[in-house]
Structure 1
Amino acid sequence: MSAYQETKVHGTHDFPFAVYRGLVPEWLSDFPLHWHEEMEIIYVEKGSVSISIRNTEYLVRGGEFVLIHPQTIHSIRQHEDDRGFYHNILFRFSMLESGADDLCRKKYLEPIYNRQLLMPEYIDISHPLNEKLTPLIRILWSHQRDRQFRDEMLIKAKLFEVLYHILEYCEEADKERAYEDIVFDKLKLSLNYLEENFAENITADTMAAVSNYSVSHFSKLFKQMTGESLTQYLKNYRLEIAANRLRHEPTKVSEIALSCGFSNLSYFSRAFYQKFHMTPSEYRKTPEL
């Protein structure tokens, strides 16, 4: 799916912590722009993947990882012909808070959540945080996968330890970054509009009006943020929605194409093959790993 606010529940209401695995390109060729309330750590175990955070793209190799602020737009995609196996760790700061007057919440968690304190995003092999956090990250994903009695306490303890080390390398946000936040918040409005109306005839004029920019300025910012023109982005978004429906709905291919904004079935089939390297019917028959 493309740039949108992710509504999937990660973990449970009383323990909002989750771990996932991804394999590029076998399991997915990309996970387009999205954001969520959770902080996220994406650790590449083998190979390499391209990860974009806001308008910065990182080539993350095996043994490296990225740190992503809550509510921050990001995406994952295949780098050239490389394969990449990675782990996602997501958690809400609420699971680490003990109440409104909690000192750690006010002094550390809120400034990170509000981007007043900025975490380093890309942690390569040589970064001091790599050696400190990698053992903790491995503990987190192993205990979540095979969770036993009392492991929730260990997970919370390790998350505090992760943030403790990260805070050593945080920087205060400057005025330029504060302005960037305003720009990205406006663009999120247009992306929400696209998500809700993707099957309709969406134009740059409409999207610009939603974000309160001129068409030319919006188009420039949109390309800067997504790396694609609105036309390219919308097509890829529709194809991702269609692929998801092919996996999980028995609806006819032609009906799925139409419901995703493709009025011409031949064009849909060509575009789908170009993106996924198989026809819609072949994709539907391929088991989900």
Structure 2
Amino acid sequence: MEEKYRYDHEMPLRVDEWSPRTYVEPFHWHASLEIGLCLSGKGWFYFGDKTYEVTAGDIFVVNNLERHIAQSDAADPSNYLFVNFRPELFGDGDKELLLPFVYNPKKFTNKMAKELPAARQIGELIRQMRTEQLNKQAGHRQIMKGLLLQICALLFRHYSNHPGYKEQFNQIYEQYMRLQPALAFLRDRFRENIGLEDMAKQLKLSCSRARHLFKHIMGEGFKEYLTQLRINEAKKLLSGTERTVTEICMSCGFQNISPFYRAFRQIVGMTPQAYREQSALFILRTEQDEEPVFPE
């Protein structure tokens, strides 16, 4: 599912504190770019098929394509600061600072371990951004933007050390931007009976070329990505509504129940009914064990 952020004063930049659940929630993505800092605790961070162990001080880079979710260790729950910002915050002269966010998910390492000097620098800059946002003193938005530029410059320096990565940036960036209409279409229309031909029309390409471009940029096939979108939506409805499994199946874009059950078991590892029961149990335990957290 897509998560959306609201920004203050029309500046597309904010820093939020967040603690993941101790169970794996549905994967999500968002229109913004994201940089995460683990403040305390332990856990795991999932990016598609990749899993990273998390400890305090680790930094994570997330673009607006890759599906992801964090999970806390029940014995030592994790707490994060997440910087969310829109690419348009950068002018043409700073385009190269977006390089760390334009990547092939299968080949990219999202984690910067806390032991790295750059990770320690970035962590301190993120803390300063959070302080500026909370205090809201005169000029805080300009200072936050300046801190973000420093962070992205450090990320750029770190990732551009990878052989050949900088040289490939312009080509990757163009392909990345070219895919945006198709991704927006899928996120808006995945609940409908759509297929590869519909996605290819958004790109004005043949089906074979559209399939190849999608796999190259996303690191997974069109069909797999579409199925994952639908299953994520089904998980949300199973845990958050009382609608029947059949109703949820049909509302998520599946045309009959058999493919839905097959895909759900393959991706989630259990039946929809079992997932609903497990979610209800987790929610009950969370309500009993956790104190309420009030927004600022």
Range that drifts further, 271-280 or 252-261: 271-280
Distance 1:137 1:197 in 2: 36
Contact 1:136 1:158 in 2 (8 A): no
Contact 1:47 1:85 in 2 (8 A): yes
User: How many matched pairs?
Assistant: 259
Partner of 1:129: 118
Partner of 2:150: 164
Selected match of 1:73 from 58, 65, 76: 65
Selected match of 1:152 from 89, 112, 136: 136
State the Cα deviation string for residues 151-174 of structure 1 (Å, max 9, x = none): 223975466335335436646996
Secondary structure (helix, strand or coil) at the match of 2:237 reads helix
State the Cα deviation string for residues 217-273 of structure 1 (Å, max 9, x = none): 322232233333222222211111122233444433322221112233354345334
Secondary structure (helix, strand or coil) at the match of 1:182 reads helix
Range that drifts further, 176-185 or 222-231: 222-231
Partner of 1:41: 35
Query: Aligned partner of 2:196: which letter?
Result: A
Selected match of 1:10 from 6, 12, 34: 6
What is the CA-CA distance between 1:175 and the residue it aligns to?
A: 6.3
RMSD of aligned C-alpha atoms?
Answer: 4.3
State the Cα deviation string for residues 61-108 of structure 1 (Å, max 9, x = none): 433213457xx43332579xxx994625234479xxxxxxxxxx8xxx
Distance 2:82 2:215 in 1: 29
Residues 30 and 139 (structure 1), Cα distance of their counterparts in 2 relative to 1, 3 Å cut: same
Residues 181 and 58 (structure 1), Cα distance of their counterparts in 2 relative to 1, 3 Å cut: farther
Partner of 2:91: 110
Range that drifts further, 22-31 or 235-244: 22-31
Query: Aligned partner of 2:147: which letter?
Result: E
Contact 2:97 2:152 in 1 (8 A): no
State the Cα deviation string for residues 99-127 of structure 1 (Å, max 9, x = none): xxxxxx8xxx4247744664587533343
What is the CA-CA distance between 1:40 and the residue it aligns to?
A: 1.9
What is the CA-CA distance between 1:180 and the residue it aligns to?
A: 1.5
Partner of 1:255: 247
Distance 1:28 1:206 in 2: 30
Query: Aligned partner of 1:223: which letter?
Result: K
Distance 1:10 1:240 in 2: 23
Residues 30 and 182 (structure 1), Cα distance of their counterparts in 2 relative to 1, 3 Å cut: same
Residues 123 and 285 (structure 1), Cα distance of their counterparts in 2 relative to 1, 3 Å cut: closer
Identity between Structure 1 and Structure 2 (%): 21
Selected match of 2:168 from 161, 176, 181: 176
Residues 84 and 214 (structure 1), Cα distance of their counterparts in 2 relative to 1, 3 Å cut: farther
Residues 269 and 73 (structure 1), Cα distance of their counterparts in 2 relative to 1, 3 Å cut: closer
Contact 2:230 2:253 in 1 (8 A): yes
Gaps of 5+ in 1: 95-104
Selected match of 1:242 from 234, 241, 266: 234
Secondary structure (helix, strand or coil) at the match of 1:181 reads helix
Larger helix proportion of the pair: 2
Q: Residue 19 in 1 paired to residue 11 in 2?
A: no
TM-score normalized with structure 1 length: 0.67
Q: Residue 217 in 1 paired to residue 213 in 2?
A: no
Contact 1:42 1:65 in 2 (8 A): yes
Residues 134 and 118 (structure 1), Cα distance of their counterparts in 2 relative to 1, 3 Å cut: same
Partner of 1:98: none
Contact 2:66 2:218 in 1 (8 A): no
Distance 1:277 1:85 in 2: 26
Partner of 1:99: none
What is the CA-CA distance between 1:205 and the residue it aligns to?
A: 2.7
Query: Aligned partner of 1:41: which letter?
Result: I
Contact 1:190 1:211 in 2 (8 A): yes
